[in-house]
Amino acid sequence: MFINDTPLSDFGAKLLSRSISPAEIDIQTYWPKNAMRPYVGSKARYYYKTLELELELKGSANEIEINKSRLIKALTSASVAFNKLEHIYTGVIDRASTGSQVTGYEVLKVDMIVFEHEEQQSINIASQSSTIYLESNEITPAVIFLLPSADISSLTLEGFGESIEIKNLTSGIEVIINGENGTVTQAGENKWLDYDSWSFPKLMPGENGITISSPSVALRVEFSPRWV
């Protein structure tokens, strides 16, 4: 097991068990009084999963307390992986408690609220029209990096959910539209006032047709495919 890419053994702990719940689902349903079958909405919204961990701690009372504190701090907001080839679970602690406890031995129980995703992918868009294929089954936020080779008064991007317009691009200065944390920056400075869209960039499961209104900009997309 890894916590933010750090082996669990570095925290003086061992994984005893894990349990991953299905995602919480919100879907509109309604059964009219005289109908023979219910109405089921065409769109479902998927929320967090719950990751339950049991971690073994051994050592002196002082060593156990120190390692338990380090573990809780690391897991407060973390990415957890059980094998480098498996999916990753990123989220926050919902609850932590002590299970079995005897001299020199303790079990730490941790519940986390998480989303499931793959390792980050990075794609360079080499033309004004391209396709990104998302193999996972959940809507995935994207981070867009724009590097103009000329001054551009207005640039339009399609294929990242809602249409995106970004204004006042300067040659050689990178703009980042971050769908993960909802920010727009240019050379590290806030550029929100030059951003026009109903939402932040995201990719849908399957094919995403990407178009860029100007050939004078290099575009790179980073995303971590999400799973229900």
The model's pLDDT over 154-213, given as tens digits with 9 standing for 90+, comes to 999 999 999 999 999 999 999 999 999 999 999 999 999 999 999 999 999 999 999 999
- Does the domain spanning 121-227 belong to CATH 2.60.120.860? yes
What pLDDT, on the 0 to 100 scale, is given for residue 30?
A: 81
Average pLDDT of the residues in 48-57: 96
What distance in Å separates the CA atoms of residue 176 and residue 181, rounded to the nearest whole number?
11
Query: Where do the domains of the chain lie?
Result: 2-117, 121-227
Q: Check for a shared fold between 2-117 and 121-227.
A: no
Proportion of the chain above pLDDT 70, given as a percent: 100
Q: Please tell me the class of the 2-117 domain.
A: mainly beta
pLDDT higher than 80, residue 127: yes
Task: Give the model confidence (pLDDT) of 9-41 as tens digits.
Answer: 999 999 999 999 988 888 888 888 888 888 888
| Consecutive H or E run containing 72 | helix 61-75
Q: Which pLDDT value is given to residue 26?
A: 86
pTM for this predicted structure: 0.88
Q: Where are the beta strands (DSSP E) in 73-216?
A: 77-81, 88-102, 105-117, 121-125, 129-134, 140-148, 152-158, 164-169, 175-178, 183-186, 189-190, 195-196, 202-203, 206-212
